[in-house]
Amino acid sequence: MKYLILGIAIFILIGQIAGMIFYHLPTKHTVPQGYQTIPRREEPPVEQSLHAEEKIDYSLQNDEVNVTFDKGKSWIHVPIEKEELFMGEYNGNKEDLIENSYVFSEERIAFLYYHERGPGNKQVKILYSFDQGKNWEESVVTEHYPFLRFRKIAFLKDRFGYVIISGDRSMSQETSTVFLTYDGGKSWRETNSSNITRLIADGGFVDQETGFLLHGGVNPEKPELYVTHDSGSTWSEAEIRIPKRYHKIFVTAETPFKEGAQLALLVNQGPGGDYKGGKIKGKFLSEDLGKTWEFSMEVQPHE
């Protein structure tokens, strides 16, 4: 009996020692390639990149706007209130910037935003830098613009760029406006209105004269595409020749783009599409700068 009790005591002692050794061993975690482990802390650091694969990136953590040009090794504070980047009709989570509301490149960084100067006095402005955040400038795109919904900014060259915005929405109707800059964003010129009040889906320019506005809705039956060849002085509806077998299938046009000597256009199935899973798009080509479009082929999303 004495030896049995002694054996049990020795077994318990060995178990305690083994447990203490195991408890203090470091636990191994599998770290995805391209990421680094960071110390656990209650609040994530501002310097944590949201999109680790991007060299030029941004962070909205701690209600501050910061940008990096070196994959998060160093960060530059952007002198703007985070809330101004989301003012207007916006239903996102405010963890990511609104799509197309900013421009990031080595040569230029720009933010398009809604600024309230006082009751009933709201401006659409851009904040931009040409030297990677060492110096910042701002310009007014337009004064007294109604409640902002759609917004997009882009630059085709160093000095030429465009802003497309919409606001004052009521059901499926709204006001949309196009502005152009020829001095890198310091000043903006409003183009003539297209006089189309249906909701804007997208838009853009392929050169200084040729631009497009795309309209849509909740349940579109066909794509609506308007084109200008005189920098927005006049707008006219483009003709998209959809084969009968694709009627009410390809219903929402996307922004045209250059493809060799032609222009190319993708038309998707809209929010309710179910043809071949709803992801297939129709590709159309134009040889007359977007006046008319001929069907080319079906394309997969990744194409």
97-137 pLDDT, tens digit each? 999 999 999 999 999 999 887 666 789 999 999 999 999 99
pLDDT computed for residue 216 by the predictor: 79
The token pair at 137 is 């400038």
Cα separations in angstroms, 156 against 69, 183, 184, 206, 235: 21, 12, 10, 8, 20
Query: Mean of the pLDDT values across residues 245-268?
Result: 95
Q: Could you give phi then psi for residue 166, rounded to 5 degrees?
A: -145, 160
Cα–Cα dist 162/156, whole Å: 8
Picking from 15-24, 40-49, 52-61, 293-302, which range would have the lowest pLDDT averaged per residue?
40-49
Query: What's the pTM?
Result: 0.80
Decide: 89 and 169 in contact? Cβ < 8 Å.
Answer: yes
Q: Is the pLDDT of residue 43 over 60?
A: no
Query: Mean of the pLDDT values across residues 217-246?
Result: 93
Average pLDDT across the chain, whole number = 83
pLDDT computed for residue 51 by the predictor: 55
Decide: 29 and 36 in contact? Cβ < 8 Å.
Answer: no
CA 146 to chain centre: 22
pLDDT category at 2 given cuts 50, 70, 90 is: very low
The token pair at 300 is 């997969």
Give Cβ neighbours of residue 295 (< 8 Å, ≥ 6 apart).
Answer: 241, 242, 243, 246, 282, 283, 284
Secondary structure class of 76 (helix, strand, coil): strand
Give per-residue burial for 180-212: e unless 16+ CB within 10 Å, then b: bbeebbeebeebeebebbebbbbbbbbeeebbb
Query: Mean of the pLDDT values across residues 7-21?
Result: 47
Domain ranges of the chain: 45-190, 203-303
Cα separations in angstroms, 223 against 26, 28, 110, 229: 59, 54, 31, 20
Query: Mean of the pLDDT values across residues 158-187?
Result: 94
Q: Which residue type does 23 have?
A: Y
Cα–Cα dist 128/111, whole Å: 6
Tell which wins on pLDDT, 173 or 240: 240
DSSP state, 198?
B
Secondary structure class of 21 (helix, strand, coil): helix
Q: Is the pLDDT of residue 34 over 90?
A: no
